[in-house]
Every structure is written in structure tokens, then in C-alpha cells.
Amino acid sequence: MKPVKAQITGTGMYAPEKVLTNVDLEKIVDTNDEWITSRTGIKRRHIAADDETTSTMAAEAGRQAIENAGLKPEDIDLVLVASLSPDMMFPATACLVQDKLKLPNAGTVDVSAACSGFVYSFSMAAGLIGIGLYKNILVIGSEVMSRFIDWTDRNTCVLFGDGAGAVVLSAVPGDSPSEVIDIILGGDGSGGDQLTLPAGGSKSPATHETVDQKLHYLKMNGNGVFKVAVRSMTDITQKLIDRNNVPVEKVKLVVPHQANFRINDAVRERLHMTEAQMFNNIFEYANTSGATIPIGIADAVKQGLLKRGDYVVMVAFGGGFTWGAVLLKW
């Protein structure tokens, strides 16, 4: 079988209307704008309204991406949703999105790889298109982080935000100038306890005690995670461009996970890239986990930063530990 080329044909994003600034947070926990800005680059985050959920935001981003690709709902063969904050344990959020968008021909599945979830989902979509099975796949990252963080814990609550991003990945003719070129996925399960939501699963089902102990909120060892994030994102980006003979100066844009501006700047320095080559929008959205990269791609498109044939890298790091990078020609 001849491999089929895949390329991004549509993008979309959604950020809730409500904005919580660092100054607003000063009234909630013992923190300040100067600390948050200098340690993370974050200035604001968007927070879902009471009637918004991971699936409603995912559906809105997905609707835009389908429209932007010039497709109809019946053209979509599969919906993949990357999320660590699904509407519920099951059914999958992808099923809820399929129903909301009325996609009659689409399979549905959620992907659990924390903040790397979008890159993992995208890779699976590229593979399914590559073997000629599907033509158009909707890949979404969507998170309502605000419902899984402890708003009394200043170590974590200042870092996260809510939002969704989506792309349509489509089969394209062999002579297309745009294509997904190469992918690296990796992980280290021994780091699982560094970034976790401890209770609510089969190991520790919900009880009064788990709720009292706040075990249904995200826990993170920030320092430990920071170091692995810098190392892994640098290593896989370097490996990806080297093995495809793409000189670093030829990379138009790296769209990285947005966990901390200092992480992305350290990666940029190690890769000897210019500031213009490293996309950052953490100041506006904070860390939206699996949604940061599709929001970043949609945002970069809106800003007119990408043109046909540009080399683009998407690189993620997250709980698990998980990491992954995609090299593509826009």
C-alpha cells in the first residue's frame, strides 16, 4: 500500500468569555502579578461558564475547524478528543462532540496523554490517513482545568486555564506541498507521581475521605516537572529536525505546549532558535493542557504567521510523563 499524505486543512479555537487576571487571583490566594508573570509568563486565563463543559468547548472549536476546511459534517470519518478533564469517565467526550456536531459517519474516541494528548491524537490521525483508511479526521484538544484544580493551592491554581482548539487533518494528493513529515512519541511512566490527579479512578474511587483530602484535584511537583519538560522537548525537537535534514534556521515556527514561558524559552535557547521561531501565547490563556497546541496553531493562523510550505514543529510534554513532536510542512 502506498502511504497517503496528510495535511491540516482547517483550524478552530474557543476560549471562554470570562477572564481571570493575575490581579484577580491576588484576591483569592496569597500570590501577586509580579510572581506569576516573572515565573511563568502568564497574565490572564479564561474560565468556563457554569453551562460550559469540555465537550461544549470542543464542539465549538471543532465546528470552526470543519467550516474552515470547507467540509460538511458528513465528511468527517473520525473524531479524536485529547483531554484530561473529560465531561465524565464515559461516554467519551468525543461521542458527545459527535452528537453535538451531528457527524453521521464519524467514529469517536478520547485520548489520554495529559498535556501531550493533542500530539498523540494528531499522530494517530496521521497514521490512519497514511494507511488510506480515512480521509478527514477532526482532532481536538479541550480542557476545563478550572474544575480540577484546588483554588486554595497557589502552587497550581495560578497556572491553568480553560479552552479548546481543533484541526481537521485530511488526505491530500501526493504532489501537495503540505504534509505531515515525521513524528516522535515518547514517555517515562516512572514519573507518573510528579503530575497526577490521584483519586476518582479504580485505584482510589470517590469517598468522603478522598474528597476531604482534596484528592480529586491536580497535584504537581513543579520543579521536577520543569526539568524533564525542558530536556525532553529540546531532545525530541532536535532529533526530529536532524533526522529529516531540516536545518534549525529553516524551521518557521515551533508551536510548543504552553506550561511556562521559561520552559519554552529554555528550549528555544538550547535549540539556538530566534524568539520569532518560538510561538508563545501563554500570557493570554495560561496552561490549557491538551488544548495548548491546537489553540496555538489556530492563533498562529489568525496572526498570519504560517504560509504554504513552511516547516512547523508541534512539541508537547505532559503528565505520565509523556512527550511528543510532529514535523510538518504547512
Binding site for ligand UT7 (CB under 6 A): 31, 35-36, 39-40, 115, 154-155, 158, 195, 222-223, 225-226, 229, 259-260, 263, 287, 289, 318
| Of the candidates 113, 165, 106, 162, the residue with the CA atom closest to the CA atom of residue 139 | 165
Cβ proximity of 283 and 44 under 8 Å: yes
DSSP at 267 = H
Catalytic residue among 136, 257, 260, 264: 257
Q: Which is nearer to ligand UT7, 223 or 245 (CB)?
A: 223
Give φ, ψ of 304 to 5 degrees.
70, 30
| Least distance between ligand UT7 and beta carbon 282 (Å) | 10
Q: Which is nearer to ligand UT7, 127 or 148 (CB)?
A: 148
| Least distance between ligand UT7 and beta carbon 322 (Å) | 10
Helix, strand or coil for residue 109? strand
Cβ proximity of 298 and 100 under 8 Å: no
| Least distance between ligand UT7 and beta carbon 175 (Å) | 38
Question: Of all residues in this chain, which one has the CB nearest to ligand UT7 in the complex?
Answer: 222
The count of C-alpha atoms lying within 13 angstroms of the C-alpha of 103, restricted to the half-sphere facing its C-beta, is 26
Q: Which is nearer to ligand UT7, 4 or 15 (CB)?
A: 15
Cβ proximity of 179 and 328 under 8 Å: yes
Catalytic annotation present for 287: yes
Helix or strand (DSSP H, E) at 46: strand 44-47
Cβ proximity of 200 and 206 under 8 Å: yes
Helix, strand or coil for residue 169? strand
| Least distance between ligand UT7 and beta carbon 78 (Å) | 26
| Least distance between ligand UT7 and beta carbon 44 (Å) | 15
Catalytic residue among 115, 136, 260, 264: 115
Cβ proximity of 97 and 106 under 8 Å: no
> What residue type is 286 in one-letter code?
A
Catalytic annotation present for 257: yes
Catalytic annotation present for 95: no
| Of the candidates 147, 157, 141, the residue with the CA atom closest to the CA atom of residue 50 | 147
| Of the candidates 326, 308, 178, the residue with the CA atom closest to the CA atom of residue 241 | 326
| Least distance between ligand UT7 and beta carbon 3 (Å) | 32
Q: Which is nearer to ligand UT7, 40 or 234 (CB)?
A: 40
Distance CA 25, CA 46 (A): 12
Return the active site residues.
115, 257, 287
